[in-house]
Structure 1
């Protein structure tokens, strides 16, 4: 059983608070993604768990034992960096064997462990190759194998696929998820890619200014974002400022019945939930662009004040630029004071 407990951890760089009283429990075998924009503190937090940064305050426990005082090589963690950080003067086998040699394991045990983990990451028979002879995806597999061969209690992944092309990134993240589930290794994964987080995580922690904005399962995070920031950061979301009067939200001709008290508010509606219908005469909205992806189309819509919205439709052929339309949200949320006050059924 391997459990990670982060309690009230803060990190200050001079007068900048990179992480602010952050608390998180990662259960045994769970894969948690830290997701957020640049500067949100996610990589700094991961580096503190790995021992590459020292917290200004707080506690980091692995299986109930404090690890803040331990250097990286003494912690039961394995870290995979975006840059691979492989030794180019060593072949693949020696890259993996180096840490095991420091532990003074017998040569036969080292060989067996290295060969087993190379098979695990799909690189069986690659031990004698130099790392410079490998593709970017293969190098990242070696970096993952180098961490796994040490049998860490906690696996730390710091945007390991960011430098790879999209097709390879998607394939590798599926492989990493399969390996993680097979080993049942507790994993903390940093990414700024929302698709990556939604595809990989058991739970996503959205970070903002060093704090947790929301932590939830991917499906709940997508369907029930707690704040406008999360709503706009996870997936594609139309966010429209407006006012509610007499139970009607209004923004420059775009109106939606909403059974809440009067006042300023933000309406949030996903493109797939924003229906459109042709409209005659002067309408509040006009189609700016139609992008046909074959399986679906994205309609860019301009409101009279130049606010742009997106609608997802199944067939692009009945829509064209310049066409006037009316908007019919099928599902939406309303936010006020940075919190959800209403969600439609």
Structure 2
């Protein structure tokens, strides 16, 4: 069993608060992604869990034991950094064996553990290689293996794939997820990539200004974002500020029935939920650009006031720049005062 508890953790750097009264419980065997823009506090939080930063306030516990001020080498955590942080003067085997030697294990036991974890990450037989002879993806596998060989209770991953190309990044994240599920190791994963979080996580914690904006399953965060920030940060979202009067939302000629009280509101419509209709003569909007991705196309649409929206269509060939269109949102949500006030049934998935 390995349960991580973060209770009211704050980290201040002089006059800047990087993490602000943050709390989170990560269950045994759960993989939680901390997702947010640069400066949201996610990496600082991870470093505090790993012992590389000390909280200004709050408590961090693993299996009920307070580790808030325990140094990194004495915590049951393993951390994988974006930069790999491998020792270039050691070969792969010695990079992995170093921590085990500090534990005074016998040579035969060290070799058994190292070879087993290299097999686990798909690098069986690579022990004698120098780290400089490896590709970026192989180096990241070594960095992961170096953490796993110490059998940590909590695995910490700080944007480990950020420096890799897209195809390698996708392959490695699938491999990491498979390994994590096979070992059932409790994992905290930091990323600013929405696709990465949606593909990997049991739960996503969206962070903003050092606080939790929303924490839930990936499908819930995507389909039911609780704030305009989450709506705009997860996936692609059209956000329109407008006014509701007599049950109708209006923005620059676009009207949508909205059963909420009168006042300002922000309408949120995903591109895949925004239908466009060809209209003869003139419409409420004009197509600005069509981008064909083969499997689908994205149509950039300009409203009369210059605001641009995106719609996803199955075929690019029916649409052209300059074409007048009408807009028909079939699923949408609305926000006021930084909270959801309406969500259509289709928007719930």
Partner of 2:139: 139
Q: Secondary structure at the match of 1:317?
A: helix
Partner of 1:39: 39
Partner of 1:335: 335
Partner of 2:298: 298
Could you list the runs of 4 or more consecutive aligned residues of structure 1 that deviate by over 2 angstroms after TM superposition?
A: none
Report the alpha carbon displacement of residue 69 of structure 1 after superposing the two structures with TM.
2.0
Deviation digits for residues 3-22 of structure 1 (CA, Å, limit 9, x no counterpart): 00000000000010000000
**What is the CA–CA distance in structure 2 between the aligned matches of 1:139 and 1:294, rounded to whole Å?**
34
The gaps in structure 1 that reach 5 residues or longer are none
Partner of 1:263: 263
Answer yes or no: is the 8 Å Cα contact 2:282–2:325 preserved in 1: no
Deviation digits for residues 232-279 of structure 1 (CA, Å, limit 9, x no counterpart): 000000000000011000001011011111000000000000000011
Report the alpha carbon displacement of residue 283 of structure 1 after superposing the two structures with TM.
1.8
Equivalent positions of 1:276-291 (< 5 A) are 276-291=276-291
Partner of 2:315: 315
**What is the CA–CA distance in structure 2 between the aligned matches of 1:9 and 1:283, rounded to whole Å?**
53
Deviation digits for residues 192-236 of structure 1 (CA, Å, limit 9, x no counterpart): 000000000000000000000000000000000000000000000
**Mapped pair 1:275 → 2:275:** yes
**What is the CA–CA distance in structure 2 between the aligned matches of 1:167 and 1:282, rounded to whole Å?**
43
**What is the CA–CA distance in structure 2 between the aligned matches of 1:190 and 1:5, rounded to whole Å?**
17
Report the alpha carbon displacement of residue 282 of structure 1 after superposing the two structures with TM.
3.0
Partner of 1:60: 60
The gaps in structure 2 that reach 5 residues or longer are none
Partner of 1:222: 222
Partner of 1:198: 198
**What is the CA–CA distance in structure 2 between the aligned matches of 1:281 and 1:57, rounded to whole Å?**
63
**Mapped pair 1:24 → 2:6:** no
Q: Secondary structure at the match of 2:12?
A: strand
**What is the CA–CA distance in structure 1 between the aligned matches of 2:84 and 2:190, rounded to whole Å?**
15
Equivalent positions of 1:235-246 (< 5 A) are 235-246=235-246
Partner of 1:163: 163
Partner of 2:126: 126
Report the alpha carbon displacement of residue 68 of structure 1 after superposing the two structures with TM.
1.3
State the Cα RMSD in Å.
0.5
**Mapped pair 1:117 → 2:117:** yes
**What is the CA–CA distance in structure 1 between the aligned matches of 2:158 and 2:318, rounded to whole Å?**
45
**What is the CA–CA distance in structure 1 between the aligned matches of 2:213 and 2:68, rounded to whole Å?**
25
User: 150-159 or 285-294, which moves further after superposition?
Assistant: 285-294
**What is the CA–CA distance in structure 2 between the aligned matches of 1:339 and 1:304, rounded to whole Å?**
28
Report the alpha carbon displacement of residue 338 of structure 1 after superposing the two structures with TM.
0.4
Q: Secondary structure at the match of 1:180?
A: helix
**Mapped pair 1:179 → 2:186:** no
Answer yes or no: is the 8 Å Cα contact 2:253–2:284 preserved in 1: yes
Deviation digits for residues 303-340 of structure 1 (CA, Å, limit 9, x no counterpart): 01111100000111111000000000010000000000
Number of aligned residue pairs: give it: 345
Partner of 2:231: 231
Q: Secondary structure at the match of 1:342?
A: strand
